[in-house]
Amino acid sequence: MSPKNGNTDTVYTLKIFRFNPETDRELRYDTFAKRFPYGTTVLEALLNIQETADDSLAFRFSCRSAVCGSCGMLVNGAPVLACRTQLATLIGNQVLIEPLPNMEIIKDLVVNMAPFWEAYKRIEPWLHSNGDQPPEKERLQFPDDEKKLDPYINCILCACCYGACPVLGFDEQYLGPAAIAKLFRFMKDSRDQRGLKFLAKVDNPDGVWNCRTIFRCIDACPKDIRPTDTILALKRKLTLYRFKKFFRVL
Ligand code: SF4
Ligand code: SF4
Ligand code: FES
């Protein structure tokens, strides 16, 4: 075994989940032992295996640079972007590669992301005006207002958080961390005029009250978005709103 010291190629054993619902009766894992240079990413290793050993291996990718969000998968049990995860950063030389959980398997590492997109659509992720005449160009915003969006705008919709969330493992109606964080991003946007309608979207059993505050979505996010924080902030807002409503302050 050679060290992962940047000078020498290293042999890795990749154990990859395989399942084609159209032809397979049972899922299986295929194992490939290959030598890879220092700096090889999991995505590059998968491409190498596809090109040299098994061209039927299915996985998604596009940008290869942590931008498109299509290569989310489980590597050694953790939801990650395959294109951003170098083999050398993993513990040991055995690498377990599996599809993201909480979504139906289409083939091998490719999952059906329809429920993720459905949840995203439910929060209506676009600017809502109050019906005023739209400006000729864009709706302007003060730089200080724009800064408030910074913690939430880098989401690449990779669904790593969706795959990490234990609640979605038993309740697929739950909106999930990415959709709620996106709703919060629009709520913080000075140009969005939805007002209290924001709260109605998440004040239900499929919304923020379904979150068990387990923080796995934060650990999973490759863009350092903190969905749990947005969920807790929305819970606080809803509690305050109910309190004020009860005492007729509103
Ligand atoms: S904090 Fe909530 S949304 Fe995030 S993983 Fe845990 S249960 Fe899911
Ligand atoms: S919040 Fe993070 S983990 Fe979730 S979809 Fe967006 S970028 Fe991916
Ligand atoms: S290939 Fe685009 S994020 Fe990994």
Strand segments, DSSP code E, in 45-154 are 72-75, 78-81, 94-98, 105-107, 110-111
Q: Given 86, 111, 136, which residue is the final one in a domain? A: 111
Alpha-carbon distance of 96 to 32, in angstroms, equals: 11
What is the model's pTM?
0.94
The verdict on the CB of residue 74 being under 6 Å from ligand 3 is no
Would you state the pLDDT for residue 8?
Answer: 79
Q: Given 80, 111, 142, which residue is the final one in a domain? A: 111
Are residues 241 and 119 both part of a single domain?
yes
Are residues 118 and 236 both part of a single domain?
yes
Q: Which of 12, 207, 194, 208 is nearest to 95 (CA)?
A: 12
Would you state the pLDDT for residue 77?
Answer: 98
Query: Which pLDDT tens digit goes with each residue over 134-193?
Result: 889 889 999 999 999 999 999 999 999 999 999 999 999 999 999 999 999 999 999 999
> Which of 63, 80, 161 most suits a substitution to test ligand 2, by most atoms within 8 Å of the C-beta?
161
Q: Split the chain (250 residues) into runs of 10 and give each run's mean pLDDT.
A: 67 98 96 97 98 98 98 98 98 97 98 98 94 88 96 97 98 97 96 91 96 97 98 96 78
The number of domains in the chain is 2
Q: Are strands 78-81 and 72-75 parallel, antiparallel or unpaired?
A: antiparallel
Are residues 106 and 228 both part of a single domain?
no
DSSP designation for 150: G
Give me 40's structure tokens. 């090889």
Q: Which of 95, 111, 92 is nearest to 45 (CA)?
A: 95
DSSP designation for 12: E
Q: Given the structure tokens 């979505």, which residue do they identify?
A: 217
Domain-embedded: residue 2: no
The C-alpha torsion from 85 through 15 and 214 to 163, rounded to 10°, is 80
Are residues 123 and 102 both part of a single domain?
no
Are residues 30 and 148 both part of a single domain?
no
Would you state the pLDDT for residue 1?
Answer: 45
Are residues 28 and 123 both part of a single domain?
no
Ligand 2, CB cutoff 6 Å, lining residues: 155-161, 177-178, 181, 220-221, 223, 225, 227
Are residues 17 and 141 both part of a single domain?
no
Half-sphere CA count of 27, side-chain side, radius 13 A: 14
Are residues 119 and 236 both part of a single domain?
yes
Distant-in-sequence, close-in-space partners of 240: CB < 8 Å, separation ≥ 6: none
Distance 122 CA to ligand 1 centre (A): 18
Nearest alpha carbon, ligand 1 atom 3:
177
Are residues 96 and 157 both part of a single domain?
no
Ligand 1, CB cutoff 6 Å, lining residues: 164-167, 177, 211-217, 227-228, 231
- The domain that holds 148 is classified in CATH as 1.10.1060.10
Domain extent at residue 202? 114-246
> What atom of ligand 2 comes closest to residue 69's alpha carbon?
8
Are residues 163 and 185 both part of a single domain?
yes
Distance 157 CA to ligand 1 centre (A): 16
Domain-embedded: residue 147: yes
Domain-embedded: residue 160: yes
Would you state the pLDDT for residue 7?
Answer: 63
Q: Given 83, 111, 139, which residue is the final one in a domain? A: 111
Give me 244's structure tokens. 């004020």
Would you state the pLDDT for residue 6?
Answer: 66
- The domain that holds 102 is classified in CATH as 3.10.20.30
Are residues 216 and 128 both part of a single domain?
yes
Domain-embedded: residue 87: yes
Domain-embedded: residue 233: yes
